[in-house]
A and B are shown apart, each in its own frame.
Chain A
Amino acid sequence: MSAAPRTAEGRARDVREILRAARSLAARADRIVPEITKSTGLSPEGVHLALREHLELEATDDDISALVARAGDATRVHVVLSSSVFVGAVRALAIARAAAPHVTLRPSTRDPWFARALVEELGSSAVQVEDVRARDLAAGEIHVYGRDATIAAIRAEARRGVRVVGHGAGMGVAWVAADDDLAEAAEAVARDVVPFDQRGCLSPRLALVEGDDARAVAFAAALDLRLAAWEARVPRGVVGGDEVAERVRWLETMAIAGVVLAGPAHAVAVAAHGSPLTLAPVGRNMHIAPIAMANAAAQLAPLASAIVAVGANDSAVAARIGPPHARVSRLGHMQRPRLDGPVDRRDR
């Protein structure tokens, strides 16, 4: 006898169960923070910040309906969390659970703790931690959260008839408009940079400042101050040797090509008007470019495939400069996307 078809209400209920499990975990923050700190390399304050402000604990009925509608329908979903920020497990499981009655999850080897804890907290036989090889899955979907190469490898390995949905790595771009107050914008951008030490695909790595070089430098000075202030409250976590090397190289380059303001745990660099757009290395660093609105979309075009989120105080402007797939939010809210579907809206 085949199981009754899952209704939209039933799927929404399953999504809410995942949010309940997340809330239950977050309520024990003091107990779980040491484990997550160890697992992620974030500072304890960074983990608290993520649990407090960036873990999806609530969602409106409309958002959950949208998530269910976008999730599609599958007999089962295997979730591969190869690389994502730790709170990403909630959304990944919510989407998978909305799509399928049976979900398996392979946590990241680098950062497995939170995803495992979430599944345990959920306590449902419908969601299990399991290391399923792509070629062993006979039907259903594989949702891969990882690098392009990981997605491609799993896609190559998956059997015919198994749909592989890729959620790739990406970046955010912040837009500081001509009429934005620079101090307020700097605080908002810092609020977007600090969570997860900029290792999220929504994290801005590039800020475009409408106006001339002087305005961009003024914004950089303000952001430098705000990042230093955040560092006092939420220290940056562990930064790997390779990440430090990337930062050193970027700082040497930008010392030549622009203006650099660097603290011990952050750096901002301003490129001169007309310089090619590039991105800062992760770890609370920001590349700032002065730009004219008329040129913004064209200058961003080479980066379009990497852009997942655009932050701007005017959503119409954000939609004009960013690629159509990008999530749009106000500055300061880039790391708090609605739970209405995947963060990454690129067609992959």
Chain B
Amino acid sequence: MVPDPESDALHLRARAFVRAFEAGATMPEAFDRLACDLARFQAARVPGYAKLCRARSVDVGALARAGDAPAVPTEAFKMTRIATFPEDAAHVVFRTSGTTVGARGLHALRDAGTYDAAALAFGRWALMKGWKRPVPVLVLGPSPREAPDSSLTHMNALFVNELGEPAGERETYFLQEEILDVVALDERVVRAMTAGDAPVLLLATSFALVHLLDALDGAPFRLPTGSRVMQTGGFKGRSREIDGETLRRDVATALQVETREIVGEYGMTELGSQFYEATIASDDAAPWVYVEPPWARVVPVDPVTLAPVADGKIGLARIEDLTNVDSAFAVLAADRVRRVPGGFELLGRAPGAPPRGCSIAIDEILGR
């Protein structure tokens, strides 16, 4: 990794949040303090972000509240490079699977250590409560070899390597070239059961779960007692679509796991942090309510004014993420969210403007 003292110091401060969380300690500094320093750093290094600040008449030098710094729309990651460092200093480059007229969004990390530390700490909190030793981690997704630029695959591999029992690639990743290998999955589950019925952690995209249900065609596929499922993402046209409640109920029935043991994860290529339902971590947590780690905030904002909306009102997700040291600490997602007690609800992608006339809608072109 190419040293960069200014960036390195900010990474250390971000990781201090993660360490404090893991230790159950007080956060090392105010969220806004680090956020504003990140905004200044990014405005100095990312010309596009400096332009956005100028266009919004934001003086980053005088910034005191994270919420006053403009957020970078996710589309900008498709249009230009959002990074504080030269291309040859990238340690990892994640790309979106997006379809924006052939363009994929790109999120380059100079130092993946902060991403990894944060993902592991919050993933452990959300998924591993009560498990004292590694468990088999099974992935209904591609291996890092097959999808080296997917941030989700990177995170899955982290969980496999750091939280899971050692296992080979074929015994871990069950989606190859979009084909679900149910036989290999079955073999691994049987092995886990015969080895003392130890629970497994199944990491899966929503469309992979639909493929699994379709492959099972109603037949039960019991996971070992106490197993858990992390479910992420939408369908992206890669399977039939099922509403969230139905999918969760069908998965719980087919795999014979408790619905509270199926946990939704919300993340995106443009972010270093992830968000989870807390139904495993906390007995009191309501389902469908996502929780942020202390190093990230999800703020629903009005899509026109970009100002925060009141709690309980729906807005676009403005995500402030202290682990996004070398890109954009504030990202404007295209997803609608609503603050509720305990966290936020995820309400799906904001629909485009309803069509008037025959000019094509942006959403329609994306769907082609």
- Which of B51, B351, B352, B360 meets A256, CB within 8 Å? B51
CB distance from B335 to the nearest CB of A (A): 13
Are A278 and B358 neighbours in the complex by a CB distance under 8 Å? no
Are B80 and A272 neighbours in the complex by a CB distance under 8 Å? yes
CB distance from A174 to the nearest CB of B (A): 14
The answer to whether residues A275 and B79 also contact, given A83-B355, A252-B70, A255-B51 and a CB cut-off of 8 A, is yes
Are B79 and A253 neighbours in the complex by a CB distance under 8 Å? yes
Decide if B23 is an interface residue (CB 8 Å cutoff): no
Q: Which residue of B lies closest to A260 (CB)?
A: B55
The answer to whether residues A302 and B358 also contact, given A252-B332, A255-B55, A256-B49 and a CB cut-off of 8 A, is no
A147 to B365, CA, bound (A): 11
In the complex, what residues of B have CB within 8 A of residue A168's CB?
358, 360
In the complex, what residues of B have CB within 8 A of residue A245's CB?
303-304, 350, 353
Interface string of B273-306 (1 = CB under 8 A from A): 0000000000000000000000000000001101
Near B by CB (< 8 A), chain A positions 172-214 give: 196, 198-201, 203, 205
Q: Which residue of B lies closest to A197 (CB)?
A: B357
Are B358 and A276 neighbours in the complex by a CB distance under 8 Å? no
Decide if B76 is an interface residue (CB 8 Å cutoff): yes
Decide if B246 is an interface residue (CB 8 Å cutoff): no
Q: Which residue of A lies closest to B350 (CB)?
A: A245
Are B353 and A302 neighbours in the complex by a CB distance under 8 Å? no
Are A169 and B358 neighbours in the complex by a CB distance under 8 Å? yes
CB distance from A241 to the nearest CB of B (A): 7
In the complex, what residues of B have CB within 8 A of residue A249's CB?
73, 75, 303, 332, 334
Contact count A vs B, C-beta below 8 Å: 147
Decide if B356 is an interface residue (CB 8 Å cutoff): yes
Near A by CB (< 8 A), chain B positions 74-107 give: 75-76, 78-80, 82, 100-103
CB distance from A281 to the nearest CB of B (A): 7
CB distance from A58 to the nearest CB of B (A): 23
Q: Which residue of A lies closest to B54 (CB)?
A: A255
CB distance from B237 to the nearest CB of A (A): 13
Are B79 and A256 neighbours in the complex by a CB distance under 8 Å? yes
Most chain A beta-carbon contacts within 10 A, residue among B71, B358, B360: B358
CB distance from A337 to the nearest CB of B (A): 13
Are A253 and B75 neighbours in the complex by a CB distance under 8 Å? yes
CB distance from B365 to the nearest CB of A (A): 5
A310 to B101, CA, bound (A): 18
Are A83 and B358 neighbours in the complex by a CB distance under 8 Å? yes
Q: How many residues of A contact B (CB 8 A)?
A: 56
- Which of B52, B55, B352, B365 meets A246, CB within 8 Å? B352
Are A256 and B52 neighbours in the complex by a CB distance under 8 Å? yes
In the complex, what residues of A have CB within 8 A of residue B49's CB?
256
In the complex, what residues of B have CB within 8 A of residue A256's CB?
48-49, 51-52, 72-73, 76, 79-80, 82
Are B354 and A242 neighbours in the complex by a CB distance under 8 Å? yes
The answer to whether residues A248 and B304 also contact, given A253-B76, A255-B52, A256-B51 and a CB cut-off of 8 A, is yes
Decide if B121 is an interface residue (CB 8 Å cutoff): no
A196 to B355, CA, bound (A): 13
A110 to B357, CA, bound (A): 9
In the complex, what residues of A have CB within 8 A of residue B79's CB?
253-254, 256-258, 271, 275-276, 278
CB distance from B46 to the nearest CB of A (A): 8
CB distance from A296 to the nearest CB of B (A): 14
A326 to B8, CA, bound (A): 53
- Which of B75, B103, B332, B368 meets A306, CB within 8 Å? B368
The answer to whether residues A240 and B354 also contact, given A148-B364, A303-B365, A306-B368 and a CB cut-off of 8 A, is yes
Decide if A74 is an interface residue (CB 8 Å cutoff): no
In the complex, what residues of B have CB within 8 A of residue A219's CB?
none
Q: Which residue of A lies closest to B74 (CB)?
A: A253
Are A200 and B356 neighbours in the complex by a CB distance under 8 Å? no
CB distance from A152 to the nearest CB of B (A): 11
A276 to B76, CA, bound (A): 11
In the complex, what residues of B have CB within 8 A of residue A272's CB?
80
A275 to B72, CA, bound (A): 17
- Which of A201, A276, A277, A301 meets B359, CB within 8 Å? A201
The answer to whether residues A147 and B364 also contact, given A256-B52, A275-B79 and a CB cut-off of 8 A, is yes
A248 to B353, CA, bound (A): 12
In the complex, what residues of A have CB within 8 A of residue B51's CB?
255-256
A42 to B175, CA, bound (A): 52
Are A276 and B304 neighbours in the complex by a CB distance under 8 Å? no
- Which of A244, A255, A277 meets B304, CB within 8 Å? A244
The answer to whether residues A253 and B73 also contact, given A169-B360, A305-B368 and a CB cut-off of 8 A, is yes
Decide if B361 is an interface residue (CB 8 Å cutoff): yes
CB distance from B164 to the nearest CB of A (A): 38
Are B80 and A248 neighbours in the complex by a CB distance under 8 Å? no
In the complex, what residues of B have CB within 8 A of residue A260's CB?
55
Are B357 and A257 neighbours in the complex by a CB distance under 8 Å? no
- Which of B78, B102, B353 meets A243, CB within 8 Å? B353
CB distance from A56 to the nearest CB of B (A): 15
Interface string of A276-292 (1 = CB under 8 A from B): 11110110000000000
A282 to B78, CA, bound (A): 21
A171 to B358, CA, bound (A): 8
- Excluding A169-B358, A242-B353, 20 further A-B contacts by CB distance (< 8 Å) are A169-B355, A170-B360, A196-B357, A199-B356, A199-B358, A203-B359, A205-B359, A245-B303, A245-B350, A246-B353, A248-B306, A252-B70, A252-B76, A253-B79, A256-B72, A256-B80, A256-B82, A276-B103, A282-B359, A306-B364
9 shortest A-B CB distances, which residue pairs?
A: A199-B357, A276-B103, A256-B48, A257-B79, A245-B303, A242-B353, A302-B102, A201-B358, A257-B80
List 6 contacting pairs A-B, 8 Å CB cutoff, sorted by A. Answer: A196-B357, A203-B359, A248-B303, A253-B73, A257-B48, A276-B103
